[in-house]
């Protein structure tokens, strides 16, 4: 497993704001973030930003990655265009490589059956329930949830999502992880000194 490269899935209507904290702090801590699209053709985010993917989904091998990040997008609920990304998430989990999914990507994972036996969260339980998945008993009312190699979060929790990623990859631990979260989630200025000690 390549422990220093993280793959960020990008596709049309990708929710820009959901991974900013995650990717910025991963990069600042020695990780390389590579984007992976359906193809290498440019995609346009929900915020109108044009992204040229580094590689196509078909080229992505879990053995060359430390983590796959899947964000929300209108396309998760508009058909099966993003189903191949959920299938790739299954390949990652089967290979023991973690996956982090936020917002609409959780619905894609639910449709793929990946939430049927793992604790998870999302925007709301009824949102996932509409997918027809069988994991309702494992739904948790929480900002973000990690169960084995799968991290999930709802659309309003990009900071909690990042915290779970950092904990899973060992970017920040213990008091530093707590300080990072207090600084960026709670605007606790006293956490700055603890984070930078």
| Distant-in-sequence, close-in-space partners of 178: CB < 8 Å, separation ≥ 6 | 191, 194
Per residue in 2-35, pLDDT (tens digit) is 579 999 999 999 999 999 999 999 999 999 999 9
Report whether 88 contacts 63 (CB < 8 A).
no
Q: Which two three-digit tokens encode residue 72?
A: 């929300």
Spatial separation of the C-alpha atoms in residues 19 and 88, rounded to whole Å: 19
Q: At residue 1, does pLDDT exceed 90?
A: no
Q: 14: which DSSP letter? A: B
Full-model pTM:
0.96
Per residue in 27-42, pLDDT (tens digit) is 999 999 999 999 999 9
Question: What is the set of domains in the chain, with CATH numbers?
Answer: 5-171 (3.40.50.880)
pLDDT attached to residue 2? 56
Supply the residues annotated as catalytic.
Answer: 103
Per residue in 151-193, pLDDT (tens digit) is 999 999 999 999 999 999 999 999 999 999 999 999 999 999 8
Report whether 142 contacts 153 (CB < 8 A).
no
Per residue in 91-148, pLDDT (tens digit) is 999 999 999 999 999 999 999 999 999 999 999 999 999 999 999 999 999 999 999 9
| Distant-in-sequence, close-in-space partners of 9: CB < 8 Å, separation ≥ 6 | 35, 36, 37, 57, 68, 69, 70, 71, 85, 105
């Amino acid at each position: 497993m390549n422990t220093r490269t993280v793959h960020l899935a990008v596709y049309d209507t990708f929710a820009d704001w959901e991974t900013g904290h995650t990717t910025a702090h991963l990069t600042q801590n020695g990780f390389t973030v590579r984007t992976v699209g359906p193809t290498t053709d440019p995609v346009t985010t929900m915020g109108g930003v044009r992204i040229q993917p580094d590689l196509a989904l078909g080229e992505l091998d879990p053995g060359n990655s430390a983590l796959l990040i899947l964000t929300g997008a209108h396309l998760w609920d508009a058909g099966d265009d993003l189903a191949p990304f959920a299938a790739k998430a299954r390949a990652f989990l089967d290979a023991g490589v973690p996956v982090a999914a936020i917002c609409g990507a959780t619905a894609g994972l639910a449709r793929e059956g990946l939430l049927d036996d793992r604790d998870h969260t999302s925007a709301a339980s009824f949102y996932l329930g509409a997918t027809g998945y069988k994991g309702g008993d494992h739904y948790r009312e929480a900002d973000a949830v990690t169960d084995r190699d799968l991290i999930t979060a709802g659309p309003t929790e990009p900071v909690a999502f990042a915290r779970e990623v950092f904990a899973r990859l060992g970017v920040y631990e213990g008091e530093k992880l707590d300080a990072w979260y207090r600084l960026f989630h709670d605007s606790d200025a006293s956490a700055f000194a603890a984070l930078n000690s």
